[in-house]
Structure 1
Amino acid sequence: MGESFWWAIATATTVGYGDVSPHTTIGKFAVVLLMFVGIGFIGMLASLLTAFFTHEEDSNKKVLEKLEQIEKENTKLKEVIIS
């Protein structure tokens, strides 16, 4: 049963067996923990980068909208000052 879990986790995490793999229960537990932590770290890093770049686009849109609003207000002020 334990070997089945080891095989399933190693396969699901796409780590595979390789030439060197743990043979003891404690070793396999430690490696499974490292697999999940490593995959979780890479997943968090990828999602943080994605969130940063997509948020950046939203911020640019907001800045452009604010600039357009300021330009309209400046045009109105110019008209008031001239008249």
Structure 2
Amino acid sequence: MYSLAENVSLSESFWWAIATATTVGYGDISPHTAVGKFAAVLLMFVGIGFIGMLTSSITEYFTVQENNKEDKILKKLDQLEKENIELKEKINKLIK
């Protein structure tokens, strides 16, 4: 879209798209037409949205795994505590 709107080569358009989407935006290549500026805004929102979704997905993956481990440990501790109470009761009955 940028290539067609601004009459630049496809390679220049890709360079501009990557620099813009990664928020580096050197400013050496910038759109001058309304369509080119629209393409820039669209690319910025899509690029930032994609990076945001990617990082949040990775964070969720590690967070969910960590929570599952903690839940398993807590359940096991509860189970051991119940068994400990039952054993104490049995010991007390045997002593009496």
2:20–2:44 contact (8 Å) kept in structure 1: yes
Alignment partner of 2:65 out of 46, 49, 53: 53
In 2, Cα distance between the equivalents of 1:37 and 1:64? 40
Alignment partner of 1:35 out of 42, 47, 63: 47
Query: What is the count of residue pairs matched by the alignment?
Result: 70
Residue of structure 2 in register with 1:68 after alignment: 80
User: Displacement of 1:48 after TM fit?
Assistant: 1.0
Deviations along 1:9-66, whole A, 9 cap, x unmatched?
Answer: 34x36xxxxxxxxx70110111011000011011111111111101111111111111
Corresponding letter in the other structure for 1:47: T
CA RMSD of aligned residues (A): 2.5
Corresponding letter in the other structure for 2:83: E
Q: Does residue 9 of structure 1 match 2:20?
A: yes
In 1, Cα distance between the equivalents of 2:39 and 2:19? 16
- Residue segments in structure 2 that go unaligned for 5+ positions in a row: 1-15, 24-34
In 2, Cα distance between the equivalents of 1:77 and 1:62? 23
Larger Rg: 2
In 2, Cα distance between the equivalents of 1:47 and 1:39? 12
- Residue segments in structure 1 that go unaligned for 5+ positions in a row: 14-22
